[in-house]
Amino acid sequence: MEELEKMLELFPEKECPNINSAFRKLHANLMFRSARAAVSISGGSDSDVMLDMIQALNPAKNYPSAKIHYVWFNTGIEYTATKEHLGFLEEKYGVTIERKKAKTPVPLGCKTWGQPFMSKQISQYISRLQAHGFQREDEPFEILYARYPNCKAALRWWCNAFGPGSRMNIEKCRLLKEFMIANPPKISFSDGCCKGAKKDVAHDYIKEIKATINIVGIRKAEGGARATAYNSCFSEPSSKSEAAQFRPLFYFTDTDKELYCQRRGVVHSDLYEKYGFKRTGCACCPFGSRFEMELQAAEQLDPGLAMAAKKIFGGAYEYTRAYRDFKAKYDAERKAKRDKEREEKKETEREKEGQTSLF
């Protein structure tokens, strides 16, 4: 196939093994599994690369039996720049990107289930504990499990009982347990906003088009629960109502991605090109460690959206800031204590030297 060969020449195996392999796998999946393919376009940089890869193989010409459905899920709190970028992609590649509204938009999801805090997994654990009336007791797992028998996993997180060094333990978030004991949250936390705004509508869409494959732009290198949930670039469907999932960018490193964009002239949205965003998703989401930067940028490029984010996520912002202040104060106090001890030690040594000089 002419287009495939061009891409393999542009990204030779010895120089670009991950990109070369990704094109080969993409070709196979478009050839044999894409009778009805759902391709999730987020407007972010990874999905830009994924879209470019698919269109580089000229599916209309080379995979006539493939039916590719490009789709974007509107969470209810999206940047205007992202929406504009979708139009740019449609014009550039000559495709149509379906717009699907959230089953439960983020504002309603946060009001219904709780606000996002730190990460999806942490929010889920806190939500389970809150639902069972947990009082943030600092006791061994066995005692707490007997007291709260219906939230085992969340208690294991709280008690660092997933095993020594496990990334699932609360200790992986420095001082979070100490902070929550000293500062009980006054609002509910949950990851339900993601489920209602993205997961549920995506699942319904796959059923709606009876997708044979779901192609998504997940990279292992990006980390987070979404990436670490998989061990490879492909997953077979777990039930008849689901589709196989293919992740063509799964093994792309940051260097691979940068090289690909340079050689293919991939253009990202203004969020990246003008405002320096590293990642995009729901606007100003508290799950992002850089939400303060996003808020500042949003106030310039999308003031209405910034105001909405502050209203929707206000409690989560306040609690996250308090947690960060708690860590900063702790570090400052420890430093002051160490400095004092060091100075006292020096003073003691000077006194000893003075006494010795008298003799």
Which pair of tokens denotes residue 217?
């732009």
Which is more confident, 54 or 103?
54
Q: Rounded CA gap, 54 and 73, in Å?
A: 19
Write the pLDDT tens digit of every residue in 219-278: 988 765 554 677 889 988 877 778 999 999 999 999 999 999 999 999 999 888 888 777
Is residue 279 exposed (0-12), middle (13-18) or buried (19+ Cβ within 10 Å)? Answer: middle
Sign of the torsion formed by the C-alpha atoms of 258, 260, 261 and 263? positive
Which pair of tokens denotes residue 262?
């340079």
- Tell me the longest C-alpha to C-alpha distance in the chain: 99
What is each CA distance from 74 to 40, 107, 153, in whole angstroms?
11, 12, 31
State phi, psi for 68 to the nearest 5 degrees.
-100, 125
DSSP letter for 173, please. S
Sign of the torsion formed by the C-alpha atoms of 24, 30, 32 and 38? positive
* pLDDT at residue 348, rounded to an integer: 82
Asked whether the beta carbons of 12 and 24 are under 8 A apart, the reply is no
Write the pLDDT tens digit of every residue in 179-193: 999 999 999 999 988
Strand-pairing partners, residue 68, are 37
Q: Rounded CA gap, 276 and 148, in Å?
A: 45
What is the CB neighbour count within 10 angstroms for residue 2?
A: 10
Which pair of tokens denotes residue 273?
């090109």
Collapsing DSSP states into helix, strand and coil, what is residue 3? helix
Write the pLDDT tens digit of every residue in 291-344: 888 888 888 888 888 999 999 999 999 999 999 999 999 999 999 999 888 888
Q: Rounded CA gap, 73 and 269, in Å?
A: 17
pLDDT above 70: residue 213: yes
Each as own residue / partner, the long-range contacts of residues 96-99 (CB below 8 Å, 24 or more positions apart, any chain) are 96/70, 97/41, 97/70, 97/71, 97/72, 98/69, 98/70, 98/71, 98/72, 99/71, 99/72, 99/74
Q: Rounded CA gap, 233 and 213, in Å?
A: 13
Write the pLDDT tens digit of every residue in 59-90: 999 999 999 999 999 998 888 889 999 999 99
* pLDDT at residue 225, rounded to an integer: 56
Write the pLDDT tens digit of every residue in 3-19: 999 999 999 999 999 99
